[in-house]
Structure 1
């Protein structure tokens, strides 16, 4: 067995237990070696076309140009698809918003939901005589003509397009089969000034109630009214939806 020397012992110790500086130097050498290999590989690739004929180079260039053009066409098509999808999404959103608004309006007109807004409160009190059916019908009709959006009698009777007023057999007036109690308190949502004006013209509902029926009428213009009564939706018996051809 050969005799060990101090230099050899130091080399063996360094290999067994390298210092931090030695590790850093080793890492740098590894990086430099990898860079040299990559550079040689790049040089090899750069010289790949050096031996090709001019015609071959033209064909390769045309092929690459065609690939680029196809990529551009695909990008343009995808952009058109994206724009179309965004347009469709916008149209669907607008249609949905319009449908929801239409449903909200129809629910109010049909009396299916509580509503709030400015309007007037009309109180008809029978003093010297009884308010006639015709006078109340005229009052409701004038309110509708003045764009009343919701009408309610006595905090619980919602008036809608299908509502019917009748003389009660026992006296008084019925609304949709329900006896109305006096005084008649009528809450109406709409433009307060327009609604009030619809009742006060000459020979109008207020004059008819006061001069011919012997009742007193008080009208308040209010910034906010709440109508909480609702109608129960009725399912059509005879009418059916027409299916589009």
Structure 2
């Protein structure tokens, strides 16, 4: 028995030394291997007590699992190149929402700092100036501003005076010119144009006399005629009609006027034409004397005959 115990104690001592050298994971695997390598329990009729002792020694010896666990594992080889490790860490990029927000905030902060630095550099010339120099520069700027403001005020006053005087003179001149043109149309010294009518009287029998032409003129003036021309004679306030007793026909302002009599009238056509066509009016009277009257309304007629004004002998402008 003593000889059998000595090999068993030696084996147990060697197994303990190997177990101390293994790491904790190897020990666990060795333990599991030992449990898996336990011998089956004795059954009745399996030998004597010596056989049991040998089975116990075999169970305590390390099995194949213990031997396999004792072999050290090879470490994972990492890239030794730093550039390769950096590339593996950076690519492919993995950007989260938080990282994007931080990047935008950093960009905005950098932009604000750049603007601030630029605005600060703009005034870098004055940053190194002395206090006396700054006060002098400020006084010069104040004085220049006051002089410019004074010049601006003077120029504005001069402009207002010129505008008032020029506007008044221009307005008075315009009003005078307009009034002179209106008086020239009435006096017959200016041509007149505008809407109106053209009245043509054909008198093949020679029955139209001066009084009939005068009645026609009065009807036109009463209807609002502003300028009238009969053939080539301009009708004005002092126009008169006479019958030509020697050769027939009519004389207007001492000029012989033969038929057809052509009235060129400036005025509102919607007022002038009905005034001549009223029952018992000018057109009806001319038809009764075997004459034919033709009225044509036009949007623009031209009265171009001019009258020669006569100088006043008795009348003078009344003093105000």
Q: Normalised by the size of structure 2, how large is the TM-score? A: 0.50
Name the residue aligned to 2:171.
Answer: 94
Structure 1: state its 5+ residue gaps. Answer: 1-38, 47-67
Quote the Cα distance in structure 1 between the aligned partners of 2:305 and 2:166: 38
Structure 2: state its 5+ residue gaps. Answer: 1-128, 137-145
Q: CA deviation at 1:89?
A: 2.2
Quote the Cα distance in structure 2 between the aligned partners of 1:114 and 1:168: 28
Q: Which of 1 and 2 has higher RCO (CA within 8 Å, sep 6+)?
A: 1
Moved more, 99-108 or 130-139: 130-139
Quote the Cα distance in structure 2 between the aligned partners of 1:75 and 1:159: 59
1:239 pairs with 2:319: no
Give the number of the structure whose residues are more often helix, by fraction: 2
Larger Rg: 2
Q: Give the counterpart of 1:220 among 296, 307, 310.
A: 296
Q: CA deviation at 1:184?
A: 0.8
Quote the Cα distance in structure 2 between the aligned partners of 1:153 and 1:85: 49
Q: CA deviation at 1:196?
A: 0.8
TM alignment of 1:4-153, pairs within 5 A: 79-80=156-157, 82-128=159-205, 130-153=207-230
Name the residue aligned to 1:164.
Answer: 240
Quote the Cα distance in structure 1 between the aligned partners of 2:205 and 2:319: 57
Quote the Cα distance in structure 2 between the aligned partners of 1:86 and 1:127: 64
CA RMSD of aligned residues (A): 3.3
TM alignment of 1:197-212, pairs within 5 A: 197-211=274-288
Q: Give the counterpart of 1:178 among 232, 248, 255.
A: 255
Give deviations 1:193-232, integer Å, cap 9, x for gaps. 2111110111111111112x22111111122222221112
Task: Check the 8 A contact 1:158/1:231 in 2, yes or no.
Answer: yes
Q: Normalised by the size of structure 1, how large is the TM-score? A: 0.64
Moved more, 123-132 or 180-189: 123-132
Quote the Cα distance in structure 2 between the aligned partners of 1:129 and 1:173: 10
The 3 A distance-change label for structure 1 pair 107 and 72 is same
Give deviations 1:107-154, integer Å, cap 9, x for gaps. 111111223222211111114451132221111011111221211112
* Equivalent pairs, count: 186
Task: Check the 8 A contact 1:127/1:216 in 2, yes or no.
Answer: no
